[in-house]
Structure 1
C-alpha cells in the first residue's frame, strides 16, 4: 500500500467511526423533539435509540466472525452501503414504527463496519504505525460523539426531523465511494473455518436479552414480568451457549486467543474504562442541571471538555505508544481517570466551574492516553485468522461498558423515588466508579505479571530443550 493509499484508507475507515457515533448522539438528544413530531409516548420513541444500540452491540462479534471468514474489507464495505441506504429509507418513513424498522437496518450496517475497522487497521498498518492509526480513529469517534448532540439540538430548533438523519448522508455516500476505491475486499489468503450458526444465535440472544432487561428496569421495575422473562431467557441462552461452546471443535468465541493475557486483560480494561467514562457523562449533566443554576447550553459546553481533550490526546498517545512501552500509557491513562473520579467523589460540592472543566479535561486526557494503546495491546498478539472476532469483541466491550455505565448512573439517581438527587447520591455513584477503577488497576497489574511469567516459562523451555 502506497503512502497515498494508506492516507485515504485511514480517512475512509474514520468516516464510518465518525458517522456511527455522530448519528447516535444526534438522535439521543432529539428524542423529546421526535416524541412531539410523531405524537408517540416516550417509552415508544426511546426504542429509536435503544434498538440501534441493542442491534449493534449484539451483532458486533457475529460481524467480526463473518469478517474473518469472508474478508474484513467485504463486510466493512457492505456495512457502509447498508448504512447509507437505510439512512435514506429512514428519512422517508411515514410513521415511527417504519422509522424504527429502518433504524434497525441502519444498526446492522453500523455493526458491520464497527466490527471490522480495527481488524482492517491492524492488518494494513504494521506494529510501528498501528497505535497512531488507532489513535486517530479514537479521536474521530470522540469528535462524532461531541458534535452529534450539538447538531441534534440545532436541527430540532430550526429544521424538520428528516435532517436528523439526512445531515450525514453526504458523508455516508462519500464513504461508500471511497471504500470501493481504497478498501480491498479480496478474500483472505487462508482457509477460514465455518461459523457455528447455533452458537452465534445463542450469543445474540444472550446480549439482546440482557440489554433489553437492563435498559427497561427504570421503566418497568426489577419485578416486572417483562424484566424477569428477559433475564430468564438470557440466562438459559447463556447456559446453552457455554454448553455448546465446550463441545465445539471450532467455537464461536476464539477461546485460545482469549486466553492470551494481553487480549483478556485488554478487553476487561476496555469494558471497565468505558463503563467509568459513560457513568460520568450520564450523571454529570444531571448534577449540573439539578445542583447548579447553569443553562442547558452552558452544561453542554462544560461537558465538551471531556471529548475535546480525548480527541486531542488520542492520536498523540497512539503515536507515542508505537515508540515506547505501550503498557506505560495504560497506567498513565487509568491514573488520570481514577484521579478525576476521586476528586468528584470527595470534592464535587466545592468545585468551581473552572475546576469542573479541568477535572473533565483530566479524564479526557486519561481516556485519550488509554484507548488507542489498549487496542494495540489487545491486537498485537492476535492471529490474522481471529482479527475480526477480537475486533468485534473490542467494540462489544466498548458499547457494553458504556451501556452499563449509563444503567448504573441512571439507576442510582432514580433510586430515590419522588425525591430529587442529592450531593450524597452523586458522591455514591462516583465512589462506585473509583472502586471499579481500582479493580482495573488490579487487572492491568495481573496482565503485566502474567506476561512476565509467560516469558520466563518460554525462556526456561528454550534453555531446557
Structure 2
C-alpha cells in the first residue's frame, strides 16, 4: 500500500513494510527524477518516431509487398484501433499490478513487435504485427505517464510533463527526415528496426532508475465485464469513424458501427455505475479538471491532427512535394509544439490551467482561420506562418490538459487517467480527420462540375473526374495516360481548385469547433492550480469536486 502522506520523508520501515512512494525518493536513495524522465521520454520518442517514419515508408511498402491503397491503410488503422481499444484497460492493469512493471513489459513488447513487423514478408503479416505493436504501445504509454506522477513532486510535475510532451513533438518533427534517410539509404524495414535500438536503451535505463512502488489494492477483483464492454465500445466507435472517409457518415456500415458503439457504451456505463470495482468510474468525470481536460484534448486533437493530415495532402498533391519534403514543410507545427509545451507549463504553474488552455485553443482557431484563406496558387510562405500558432497552441493545450487529468485523478486511478487522456487525444485526431474529410468531400462533389466546366475540360474527361470526386477530395486528380497535355493541365487545375474550396470549408468548420471548445474552457476550467490528490473519487452526484479536481480561490 502507498505510504501515508504523513510519513513522507521518513526512513523506510522494516522489511515487509510498504514500498517507497514518490515522497520518499530523496531519503531512500532513489534515482534522480530527471533520469526517470529520460527513460520515459525515450519510450515516448520511440512511439512518436514510429508514427511519422511509417507514414513516409508507406509508398515503398506498397510496392515491395504488392498491395493496394485500401489494404495499406490498415498498416496505420490496425495500429490505431489496437491502441484506442487497450489504453484505459492497460492503465488499469498498471494501477493494479505496478506501473514500472507494465512500462517495461510494454517497452520490451513494442521493441519485439517492431522487429517482427520489419521482418514481415507480406502485407497480412505486417498488419498483424502492427496490431500487436499497437497493443504494446497502449501498455507502455499510460504507465510511462503514471511513473512521472509517482516520481515528481507536484511543483515539478507540470514542467516534467511539458518536457515529456516536447520530446514527443520533436521526435514527430524528426520522423519524416529520419524515415526518408532510412528508406533511401537502407530500406523500409529499418523504420521498424530502429525501435529496437531506442527500446533497449529505454528498457535498461527504466529498469535501473524507475522506483518500484507497490500499487494499492493489488488483491482486489478486476472488472472483466467492464474491460470487454469498453474495448468493444471503443472498437465499434473507431471502426465507424475509420469508415467515414471512404463510405460517408450515412453508409450502413458506418451507422451500424456507431449504433453498436452507442448500445455497448450504454451497457458499459450501467455496468460501471453498479459495480464495486469499476474499470472507469463515472464519478471520475465529476471532477471538473478531468472532464474539461478530456474535452480540451479531444478538441485540440480534432483540429491539430485533422488539419495537418490535409495540409500534408495539400503539399504533396497540389504543390508536388515528396513525402519527406511535406514532412519537413510541417516542421513549424511540430517544432513549435515543442516551444508551446514548456510555455504552457510555465503559464499553468503561474496562473492555473484556464489561461494556457483557453489561449492555446484560441491560437489553434486563429491558425485554422488563416489556413482557410489558402488557395491552390498560395505559396508555402503563405502557409507556414499559420503553422506557428497551430503548433504553439497545441503545445500549450496538450501538456496542460494531460497534467490536469493525471494530477486530479485519485492515486489508485493514475494509470486509468493516463489512458483516458491519450484515448481522448487519439479519438480527437481520428474524428477530426474524418469530419474535416467529410466537409472537403461534400464541397468537392458540389463544385467540381463547375470548376471542370470553367476550365474547358473535355466532356468525357470531365464526366470521368466527376464520378471520381472522392479521389479528388484527397487532392488527387486521376488523369488517364495519353490525355493531351493541355487537357491534363486544365483538369489538374480544376481538380485542385475544387479540393482547395473543400479545404477552405474544412478549416472554417474546424475553427468554429475550436472556438466552441475555447469558450467552454474559458467558462469552466479551474482558474488556479490543482493542489492535491484525491484518495477516492466522488460517490454521489451532489458531492463537490475533491481537492484533486477543485479549483482554489483565485
1:23-76 CA-to-partner distances (Å, cap 9, x unmatched) read 111112222211111112222222111111110111001011111111222211
Distance in 1 between the 2:377 and 2:154 partners? Answer: 45
Pick closer, same or farther for the CA change 1:292–1:101 going to 2, 3 Å: closer
State the 1:193 CA deviation. Answer: 4.1
Distance in 2 between the 1:61 and 1:301 partners? Answer: 33
Query: What TM-score, normalized to structure 2?
Result: 0.76
Q: Which residue of 2 aligns with 1:247?
A: 274
The answer to whether the Cα contact below 8 Å between 1:12 and 1:179 also exists between their aligned partners in 2 is yes
Q: Which residue of 2 aligns with 1:47?
A: 74
Distance in 1 between the 2:322 and 2:331 partners? Answer: 14
The answer to whether the Cα contact below 8 Å between 2:145 and 2:418 also exists between their aligned partners in 1 is yes
State the 1:192 CA deviation. Answer: 6.5
Residue from 255, 258, 261 that aligns with 1:234: 261
The answer to whether the aligner puts 1:432 opposite 2:509 as a matched pair is yes
Residue from 289, 295, 302 that aligns with 1:268: 295
Q: Larger radius of gyration, structure 1 or 2?
A: 2
State the 1:252 CA deviation. Answer: 2.1
Q: Which moved more, 1:358-367 or 1:259-268?
A: 358-367
Q: Which residue of 1 aligns with 2:522?
A: 445
Distance in 1 between the 2:508 and 2:220 partners? Answer: 46
Q: Which residue of 2 aligns with 1:100?
A: 127
Q: Which moved more, 1:157-166 or 1:426-435?
A: 157-166
Distance in 2 between the 1:288 and 1:38 partners? Answer: 26
Q: Which moved more, 1:50-59 or 1:315-324?
A: 315-324
Pick closer, same or farther for the CA change 1:243–1:301 going to 2, 3 Å: same
Matched positions, count? 458
The answer to whether the aligner puts 1:366 opposite 2:393 as a matched pair is yes
Q: Which moved more, 1:126-135 or 1:221-230?
A: 221-230
State the 1:290 CA deviation. Answer: 4.7
Distance in 2 between the 1:70 and 1:386 partners? Answer: 12
State the 1:394 CA deviation. Answer: 0.4
Distance in 2 between the 1:136 and 1:260 partners? Answer: 26
Distance in 2 between the 1:347 and 1:105 partners? Answer: 40
SS of structure 2 residue aligned to 1:29: helix
Residue from 314, 327, 332 that aligns with 2:341: 314
Q: Which moved more, 1:8-17 or 1:440-449?
A: 440-449
Q: Which residue of 2 aligns with 1:60?
A: 87
Pick closer, same or farther for the CA change 1:138–1:450 going to 2, 3 Å: closer
Distance in 1 between the 2:213 and 2:83 partners? Answer: 25
Q: Which moved more, 1:227-236 or 1:167-176?
A: 227-236
State the 1:83 CA deviation. Answer: 1.0
The answer to whether the Cα contact below 8 Å between 1:254 and 1:389 also exists between their aligned partners in 2 is no
State the 1:147 CA deviation. Answer: 1.9
Distance in 2 between the 1:211 and 1:269 partners? Answer: 19
Residue from 11, 36, 40 that aligns with 2:63: 36
Distance in 2 between the 1:456 and 1:25 partners? Answer: 39
Please report the RMSD computed on the Cα atoms of aligned residues, expressed in angstroms: 2.8
Query: What TM-score, normalized to structure 1?
Result: 0.90
Residue from 188, 203, 210 that aligns with 2:237: 210
Q: Which residue of 2 aligns with 1:115?
A: 142
Q: Which moved more, 1:202-211 or 1:315-324?
A: 315-324
Q: Which residue of 1 aligns with 2:432?
A: 405
Q: Which residue of 2 aligns with 1:462?
A: none
Pick closer, same or farther for the CA change 1:325–1:217 going to 2, 3 Å: closer
Residue from 406, 411, 421 that aligns with 1:384: 411
Q: Which residue of 2 aligns with 1:325?
A: 352
Q: Which residue of 2 aligns with 1:134?
A: 161
SS of structure 1 residue aligned to 2:276: coil
SS of structure 2 residue aligned to 1:40: coil
1:339-394 CA-to-partner distances (Å, cap 9, x unmatched) read 11222234667965334212101211112222212222223332101111111100
SS of structure 2 residue aligned to 1:94: coil
SS of structure 1 residue aligned to 2:32: helix
The answer to whether the Cα contact below 8 Å between 2:91 and 2:419 also exists between their aligned partners in 1 is yes
Distance in 2 between the 1:261 and 1:314 partners? Answer: 22
The answer to whether the aligner puts 1:8 opposite 2:35 as a matched pair is yes
Residue from 236, 244, 257 that aligns with 2:284: 257
Q: Which moved more, 1:127-136 or 1:143-152?
A: 143-152
Q: How does 1:342-361 map to 2 (within 5 A)?
A: 342-346=369-373, 353-361=380-388
1:56-114 CA-to-partner distances (Å, cap 9, x unmatched) read 11100101111111122221111111111212222333322222222222111110111
